[in-house]
Amino acid sequence: MTAAVSLATYPDDTLPQTLILALEGQLDYTNAEQLRERAVHLLADDHRSLILDLSELTFCDSTGIRILLALRTLITARGGSISVAGLGPRLLKIFQVTGLVQFFAVQPTRADAVALLRAAPSADQSPSAG
Protein backbone atom coordinates (compact mmCIF):
# COMPACT_ATOMS: atom_id res chain seq x y z
CA MET A 1 0.00 0.00 0.00
CA THR A 2 2.88 2.36 0.72
CA ALA A 3 4.56 4.16 -2.08
CA ALA A 4 8.18 3.59 -2.96
CA VAL A 5 10.73 6.09 -4.09
CA SER A 6 14.28 5.33 -5.12
CA LEU A 7 17.30 7.54 -5.42
CA ALA A 8 20.16 7.27 -7.90
CA THR A 9 23.26 9.42 -8.25
CA TYR A 10 24.77 10.43 -11.59
CA PRO A 11 28.24 11.81 -10.83
CA ASP A 12 29.65 14.06 -13.54
CA ASP A 13 33.44 14.36 -13.70
CA THR A 14 33.26 17.83 -15.15
CA LEU A 15 31.13 19.03 -12.23
CA PRO A 16 32.84 17.75 -9.07
CA GLN A 17 30.94 20.13 -6.85
CA THR A 18 27.55 19.12 -8.15
CA LEU A 19 25.40 16.38 -6.70
CA ILE A 20 23.11 14.95 -9.33
CA LEU A 21 20.23 12.88 -8.01
CA ALA A 22 17.44 11.14 -9.85
CA LEU A 23 14.24 10.36 -7.97
CA GLU A 24 12.06 7.56 -9.17
CA GLY A 25 8.66 6.43 -7.99
CA GLN A 26 6.23 8.13 -5.64
CA LEU A 27 7.34 10.57 -2.99
CA ASP A 28 4.84 10.89 -0.17
CA TYR A 29 4.58 11.07 3.61
CA THR A 30 5.42 7.39 3.98
CA ASN A 31 8.89 7.74 2.49
CA ALA A 32 9.73 11.46 2.30
CA GLU A 33 11.74 11.60 5.52
CA GLN A 34 13.79 8.58 4.50
CA LEU A 35 14.50 10.15 1.16
CA ARG A 36 15.60 13.39 2.81
CA GLU A 37 18.03 11.51 5.05
CA ARG A 38 19.51 9.65 2.12
CA ALA A 39 19.86 12.80 0.05
CA VAL A 40 21.44 14.72 2.95
CA HIS A 41 23.82 11.81 3.44
CA LEU A 42 24.87 12.01 -0.20
CA LEU A 43 25.41 15.75 -0.04
CA ALA A 44 29.14 16.27 0.63
CA ASP A 45 30.58 19.38 2.23
CA ASP A 46 32.07 20.62 -1.02
CA HIS A 47 28.91 20.22 -3.07
CA ARG A 48 27.78 23.60 -4.28
CA SER A 49 25.00 22.60 -6.66
CA LEU A 50 22.21 20.10 -6.56
CA ILE A 51 20.39 18.81 -9.61
CA LEU A 52 17.25 16.81 -9.00
CA ASP A 53 16.10 14.76 -11.96
CA LEU A 54 12.39 14.23 -11.31
CA SER A 55 11.49 12.78 -14.70
CA GLU A 56 10.72 9.39 -13.16
CA LEU A 57 8.96 10.81 -10.12
CA THR A 58 5.31 10.09 -10.75
CA PHE A 59 3.88 11.57 -7.57
CA CYS A 60 4.80 14.07 -4.90
CA ASP A 61 2.51 15.03 -2.02
CA SER A 62 2.78 17.97 0.38
CA THR A 63 5.26 16.13 2.60
CA GLY A 64 7.38 15.46 -0.46
CA ILE A 65 7.31 19.16 -1.31
CA ARG A 66 8.55 19.93 2.21
CA ILE A 67 11.50 17.63 1.57
CA LEU A 68 12.34 19.27 -1.78
CA LEU A 69 12.23 22.65 -0.04
CA ALA A 70 14.40 21.34 2.79
CA LEU A 71 17.02 20.23 0.26
CA ARG A 72 16.83 23.63 -1.39
CA THR A 73 17.39 25.33 1.98
CA LEU A 74 20.41 23.11 2.65
CA ILE A 75 22.14 23.95 -0.61
CA THR A 76 21.25 27.64 -0.71
CA ALA A 77 22.46 28.04 2.91
CA ARG A 78 25.97 27.24 1.65
CA GLY A 79 25.60 29.63 -1.26
CA GLY A 80 24.73 26.90 -3.72
CA SER A 81 21.97 26.45 -6.23
CA ILE A 82 19.34 23.84 -6.91
CA SER A 83 17.67 22.90 -10.13
CA VAL A 84 14.97 20.40 -10.94
CA ALA A 85 14.77 18.67 -14.28
CA GLY A 86 12.28 16.61 -16.22
CA LEU A 87 9.08 17.67 -14.48
CA GLY A 88 6.15 15.74 -15.92
CA PRO A 89 2.88 17.59 -16.55
CA ARG A 90 1.46 16.61 -13.15
CA LEU A 91 4.53 17.61 -11.19
CA LEU A 92 4.85 20.81 -13.20
CA LYS A 93 1.24 21.59 -12.27
CA ILE A 94 2.02 21.11 -8.58
CA PHE A 95 5.09 23.34 -8.93
CA GLN A 96 2.98 26.00 -10.63
CA VAL A 97 0.02 25.90 -8.23
CA THR A 98 2.24 26.10 -5.16
CA GLY A 99 4.54 28.70 -6.70
CA LEU A 100 7.56 26.40 -6.33
CA VAL A 101 8.65 27.26 -9.88
CA GLN A 102 10.05 30.48 -8.42
CA PHE A 103 12.30 28.62 -6.00
CA PHE A 104 13.91 26.07 -8.24
CA ALA A 105 15.68 26.50 -11.55
CA VAL A 106 13.39 24.35 -13.66
CA GLN A 107 15.09 22.62 -16.58
CA PRO A 108 13.55 20.43 -19.25
CA THR A 109 16.04 17.58 -18.76
CA ARG A 110 18.93 16.56 -16.54
CA ALA A 111 21.27 17.15 -19.50
CA ASP A 112 19.99 20.72 -19.77
CA ALA A 113 20.59 21.31 -16.08
CA VAL A 114 24.11 19.90 -16.37
CA ALA A 115 24.85 21.94 -19.49
CA LEU A 116 23.69 25.09 -17.76
CA LEU A 117 26.03 24.52 -14.83
CA ARG A 118 28.95 23.79 -17.16
CA ALA A 119 28.30 27.04 -18.95
CA ALA A 120 28.34 28.94 -15.67
CA PRO A 121 31.71 28.06 -14.14
CA SER A 122 31.10 30.20 -11.11
CA ALA A 123 28.41 27.86 -9.96
CA ASP A 124 30.82 24.95 -9.81
CA GLN A 125 34.49 24.15 -10.10
CA SER A 126 35.47 27.40 -8.46
CA PRO A 127 37.83 26.50 -5.64
CA SER A 128 36.50 29.16 -3.30
CA ALA A 129 32.78 29.56 -3.31
CA GLY A 130 31.30 32.51 -1.51
Which residues of the chain form contacts with another protein (CB under 8 A)?
1, 3, 26, 28-29, 58-59, 61-63, 65-66, 69-70, 73, 90, 93-94, 97-100, 102-103
Considering the complex, what minimum distance in angstroms separates the CB of residue 35 from another protein? Answer: 14
Comparing CB distances to another protein, the nearer of 19 and 32 is 32
Comparing CB distances to another protein, the nearer of 69 and 116 is 69
Considering the complex, what minimum distance in angstroms separates the CB of residue 98 from another protein? Answer: 4
The Cα 47–Cα 33 span in angstroms is 21
Name 22's Cβ contacts closer than 8 Å, sequence gap at least 6.
7, 8, 9, 10, 52, 53, 54, 55, 56, 110
Enclosing H/E stretch for 24: strand 18-27
Considering the complex, what minimum distance in angstroms separates the CB of residue 99 from another protein? Answer: 4
Considering the complex, what minimum distance in angstroms separates the CB of residue 17 from another protein? Answer: 23
The Cα 108–Cα 112 span in angstroms is 6
Comparing CB distances to another protein, the nearer of 39 and 114 is 39
Comparing CB distances to another protein, the nearer of 76 and 109 is 76
Name 68's Cβ contacts closer than 8 Å, sequence gap at least 6.
52, 60, 84, 100, 104
